[in-house]
Amino acid sequence: MTDLRSELEDALDEFDKSGAPGVPKATRLGKAVLLAEAVRSFLDDADLDDTANPYYFGKTIPPPSRPPPRHPNSAVDLGLTVTRSRPVTIDGIVYNTAMNAFQAHKADPSERHRFALVEYFDAVQMGRSCVIDCAAWDAGRKTLMTKILRTQASQNPEFAKLIVDHGATVLEDSMQDMYWPHALPQIWAELASELASQSSSVTASGDDDTASSSSVDQKSDQKSGRKRIMESAAKEANPSKKKK
């Protein structure tokens, strides 16, 4: 394999040299033929691996390294993204993703239905074609996205649980622009805290209701018991009323 690699690199060097000024075309053509034969021999070898990739046999271009492993809290892996297909209904319109709903708000309300079921990247392009007050839009976009995601969570319990479980620690790696990689983690963390608080309140309320119900039942039992004792005492005081 080493000999084939060396032959291939030598053939490449010779072909490069044949491109110098003054070298006849016939010579360059001959070097190209030799290079093609060297490539063919290299590819025919049965022991090719990543370090002997024919596309990286040059002396200055290293083979590609393996991509680093994703962060365990990757937004993409968790599905905690605004572009994930997860229907959300706003003002009677069912949008395919939160991003669809977000971009739709750039349009007149009568036109927002057009954003509903297209792919999110198409919705982004449609949003870019809308005439808006950019300063006002930029100032309110974080609040708008938070509102949309809050609505989406209220309509999807599994999504709400996902936010509670990972919203405070998620690593945003789904958006490649300059704004959302910084804004979305803040939104997720805010919603995670909000939803967790709501869940705790509901649980506490349920416990209070249970305790209250138990107290009422206990009092009712005590009242019934006292009534039975009084009736028994009355019968003992008036034997004539006993059945013969």
Q: Note the CATH number of domain 75-201.
A: 1.10.357.40
Top mean-pLDDT range of 8-12, 51-55, 224-228: 8-12
- 53 Cα distance to chain centroid: 35
Per-residue pLDDT at 237 exceeds 60: no
Q: What is the rounded distance in angstroms from the CA atom of residue 10 to the CA atom of residue 14?
A: 6
Per-residue pLDDT at 47 exceeds 80: no
Domain with CATH 1.10.357.40 in the chain: 75-201
pLDDT tens per residue across span 128-166: 999 999 999 999 999 999 999 999 999 999 999 999 999
Contacts of 43 (CB under 8 A, 6+ apart): 54
Instruction: Mark 175-211 as b/e (b = at least 16 C-beta within 10 Å).
Output: beeeebeebbbebbebbbebbbeeeeeeeeeeeeeee
pLDDT tens per residue across span 14-41: 878 887 788 888 888 888 888 888 777 7
The confidence score (pLDDT) of residue 53 equals 52
Helices (H), the chain: 2-17, 25-44, 75-78, 98-104, 120-128, 134-155, 157-166, 180-237
Does the pTM surpass 0.95? The reply is no
The confidence score (pLDDT) of residue 29 equals 82
